[in-house]
Amino acid sequence: MNHFDTELEKSLKTDNIHYERLPNKDEKRLINKIQRKITFAGSQIDWKTLQNATDLSHMEKSLALTEISEKLNSLAVQRVIFLGDSAIEYAYSIAITDLRRALDIFAEFPQHTYIFPERLNWIACLAFEGYIDYADLSCDEA
């Protein structure tokens, strides 16, 4: 486990956030699922190719994270996955009840962090460049 994962897990424990570090095989399965379903432009999601994509970068960060939390809570899922593309080596499953606090923690890491339920019918990205986007993927399943 690298330095970033150690710091992440320490922060999650300090904030009493219930999490599970996913096994490598589950992480690979989720990455394959994302790559099959979503178009990328370089190392980032090509948000223009998704129906119902929303850019929250114009909003104050705290308000944008609250909107993401509210959208995910409206899906009636129990857990969401946090998957980073560089700094953090592991994927993490977080209880929906801890989502808002977890978003604050993950937003501090220098990477693109993807947040989604396991069904992958919705996805958000917190980018280290300051971009915050999300999309309802259920419209893209047709």
- For 78, residues 6+ apart whose C-beta sits below 8 A from its C-beta are 95, 96
Tokens representing residue 74 in the block? 């409206």
Total domains present in the chain: 1
Per-residue model confidence as pLDDT tens for the chain (142 residues): 799 999 999 999 999 999 999 999 999 999 999 999 999 998 889 999 998 899 999 999 999 999 999 988 888 899 999 999 888 999 999 999 999 999 999 999 989 999 999 999 999 999 888 889 999 998 655 4
Cα–Cα dist 122/116, whole Å: 6
C-alpha separations of 135 from 27, 83, 121, 124 in Å = 21, 16, 9, 6
Model confidence, pTM: 0.91
pLDDT of residue 63: 93
10 Å Cβ neighbour count for 28? 12
Give φ, ψ of 82 to 5 degrees: -115, 120
Both structure tokens of 108: 């501090």
- Domain hosting 121: range is 3-141
Provide the residue type at 93 as one letter. S
